[in-house]
A and B are shown apart, each in its own frame.
Chain A
Amino acid sequence: MSGTFYTAGKIVRQSLPLLMLLVLLEIIAGQFLNTSEKILGMSSVLMLIPVVNGVGGNIGSILGARITSGLHVGYIEPKLKDRNLRKNLLLSLVLGGSVFLIMGIIIFVITRIMHFETDISIWRLLIIFLASGAILITVLCFICVASALYTYRKGLDPDNIVTPIVTSVGDFIGITSIMVMTLLIGI
């Protein structure tokens, strides 16, 4: 024993099982992409993936952190009807909607100024982006609330569980919605 508070062994043992489970979700998301040779060749659709997943995952993490802190401090009660819980949920939905709109405008401006050739029309690309963002944010916020309440009621510390779950599930939903939207309107 090294006599330190943190030990490499403890860090690995506590993280590895959850990481292995979550990487499977990411692999399934990757396999979805793997089935469509068309999408793998579409630069501008691929470009959307890190943006949608990054912003979605962060909105979920912020909501998760707020709810779990609220539960710990006691200003949120672990039930769906709680007023502060609903306020935080609404905040995340409004936040998500606004950030995706602004990012859509930024993507539009960048492609116009830099004269990027998009493989599909910029309008279709923006519709894919905004629609997948809307689906992701809505589903993810509800998953976030559900997993925070569930882990808290089970007596587990939601801090260790909610963020990893929300980001990995978020990647999965983000990629799936981009794929579905692209197949629906992009090609």
Chain B
Amino acid sequence: MTGSEQDLFEILSNVGAAKSEYMKAIQSVKKQNFTEVESLFKTGDGYLLAAHKVHTKMIQEEAGGSEPKISLLLVHVEDQLMGCESIKIMAKEFIHVYAQLQDLKKEQTLILNKIT
């Protein structure tokens, strides 16, 4: 495996692990468990940052005049990075929606208890 391939797989494994943490956060709030969200996001952000560091290094190398090898793998890595960023943003939105849903359910129970 060449140095640039090694970089690509390092991004891929980190970005994959990050995406998995954000998805776990959505799954956990879906089950009304809000306690793990913070740590899942923290771990995910750590992985995403590690991926970005390698990515930035590659961009800087290109800016420094070293021509990158364009491969399907590189395109796949860029795609996974983008996907992960979107999932992170959407996961935050989902968490807000599930939190509001839980509040609404509580309110509904309170109201129902009053009228029955």
Q: Do A and B bind each other?
A: no
